[in-house]
Amino acid sequence: MITKTVPNVEAACEGVEDNMTLMLGGFGLCGIPENAISQLVKLNVKDVTCISNNAGVDDFGLGLLLQKKQIKKMISSYVGENAEFERQMLSGELEVELIPQGTLAQRCRAAQSGIPAFYTPAGYGTEVGEGKESREFDGKMHLLEHAFEADFAFVKAWKGDTAGNLIFKGTARNFNPNMCGAANITVAEVEELVPAGELDPNDIHIPGIFVQRIFKGERYEKRIEQRTVRAK
């Protein structure tokens, strides 16, 4: 049976270069590919475009890449938890494209499915729609949005097998599945890696055909983005 397993994060990130476009799964700090992000920092790749729902926080997630000014452009939906992101955006150091969250998800899914473009009503009549083709469907205007084109997609799953089949847990099943197969190379890091055939086929969320490389992550901090507690 074909195995997609690579020995470590270094092998998983082989081929990442400056000026590439990278997809990174996760929602806030939930389900982010922590090991891959750390390796990208070590590789010191420059001028990359990152497609991610958010930009992490100042000292964690994609915030680590922002600290070293490795990101040239962020394509995101929500960016409100990162002061360094704000500083770079307002100073003109960082190019930013903000996208409605559903559109972001669908542009990933379109790339995954091989669909070059689609129409959506989200953003019509706002700055999001400036310069974009529009068309009326059933009396409602829609914008033409194009599928993403990315070099690598880095996703994080709870469990996977050597054939690349993936299972996500909880809220991590957000942008991660949509990004699998949406780039030239999909790299999956997992908390638990098992032999092919051990996973129940009925539990698999993403089949291995969408994954080129898979490895077992070493450590996960799983930081809580905003902790809310009750007064005693």
Q: How confident is the model at residue 224 (pLDDT cuts 50, 70, 90)?
A: confident
Flag whether 13 is in a domain.
yes
Q: How confident is the model at residue 226 (pLDDT cuts 50, 70, 90)?
A: confident
Flag whether 85 is in a domain.
yes
Flag whether 61 is in a domain.
yes
Q: Which domain holds residue 161?
A: 9-100+149-216
Alpha-carbon separation of residue 189 from 101, 105, 212 (angstroms): 24, 20, 11
Would you state the pLDDT for residue 56?
Answer: 87
pLDDT one-digit tens code per residue, 135-170: 999 999 999 999 999 999 999 999 999 999 999 998
Q: Answer yes or no: is pLDDT of 80 > 80.
A: no
Flag whether 82 is in a domain.
yes
Q: Answer left, alpha or beta for residue 114, where phi above 0 means left and psi between -120 and 50 means alpha.
A: left
Flag whether 32 is in a domain.
yes
> Could you tell me how many residues make up the chain?
232
Identity at 132, one-letter amino acid code: K
Rounded Cα–Cα distance for residues 26 and 24 (Å): 7
Q: How confident is the model at residue 67 (pLDDT cuts 50, 70, 90)?
A: very high
CB burial class (10 A; 0-12, 13-18, 19+) of residue 158? middle
Give the domain CATH number at 86: 3.40.1080.10
Alpha-carbon separation of residue 46 from 14, 91, 199 (angstroms): 15, 18, 38
Flag whether 211 is in a domain.
yes
Q: How confident is the model at residue 29 (pLDDT cuts 50, 70, 90)?
A: confident
Name the nearest CA neighbour of 152 among 19, 56, 3, 41. Answer: 19
pLDDT one-digit tens code per residue, 86-113: 999 999 999 999 999 999 999 999 999 9
Q: How confident is the model at residue 28 (pLDDT cuts 50, 70, 90)?
A: confident
Q: Output the average pLDDT for the chain.
A: 94
Q: Hey, how many other C-beta atoms are within 10 angstroms of the C-beta on 73?
A: 15
Flag whether 52 is in a domain.
yes
Would you state the pLDDT for residue 231?
Answer: 83
Which residues lie closer than 8 Å to 107 by C-beta, 6 or more apart? Answer: 99, 145, 146, 147, 148
Q: How confident is the model at residue 229 (pLDDT cuts 50, 70, 90)?
A: confident
The structural domain count of the chain equals 1
Would you state the pLDDT for residue 79?
Answer: 82
The DSSP result for 58-119, as a single string, is: TTBTTHHHHHTT-EEEEEES--TT-HHHHHHHHHTSSEEEE--HHHHHHHHHHHHHT--EEE
* DSSP 8-state secondary structure symbol assigned to residue 7: S
Q: Answer yes or no: is pLDDT of 41 > 90.
A: yes
pLDDT one-digit tens code per residue, 179-223: 999 999 999 999 999 999 999 999 999 999 999 999 999 888 777
Would you state the pLDDT for residue 197?
Answer: 93
Flag whether 19 is in a domain.
yes
Would you state the pLDDT for residue 169?
Answer: 93
Q: How confident is the model at residue 81 (pLDDT cuts 50, 70, 90)?
A: confident
